[in-house]
Amino acid sequence: MFAAKVTGSVVSTHKDESLHGLKLLVVQPLFDDGSPKGKQLIAIDTLGQAGEGDHVYLAKSGESGMPLEKKLVASDAGIMGIIDDYYILKEDVNNE
């Protein structure tokens, strides 16, 4: 899993049948400090509740469609949850 920020949405009138009824969002993967990591990608919103500006966590590959009733979904990335808050413990480099 990895963290990302929702940066937009996708409107598609013609798509694979497995994607009918699913919301597609553009997400920007993030480093731990919140800065952009790599290229943006399109993900299915398995929750149906994520929106632009939300921080989310995603799964890639076959796991991306696991929360859906349809087990075979044409997707490489799926939003698994919306991040409310997070923190990262920093190691004290002076205290070995």
Residue 8 has pLDDT above 70, yes or no: yes
Q: Rounded to two decimals, what is the model's pTM?
A: 0.78
- R_g of the chain, CA atoms, integer Å: 15
- 25-49 per-position pLDDT tens digit: 999 999 988 899 999 999 999 888 9
Domain residue limits, the chain: 2-13+21-82
Closest CA to 61 of 48, 49, 47, 44: 44
Q: Are 41 and 76 in contact (CB under 8 A)?
A: yes
Q: What is the CATH number of domain 2-13+21-82?
A: 2.40.50.220
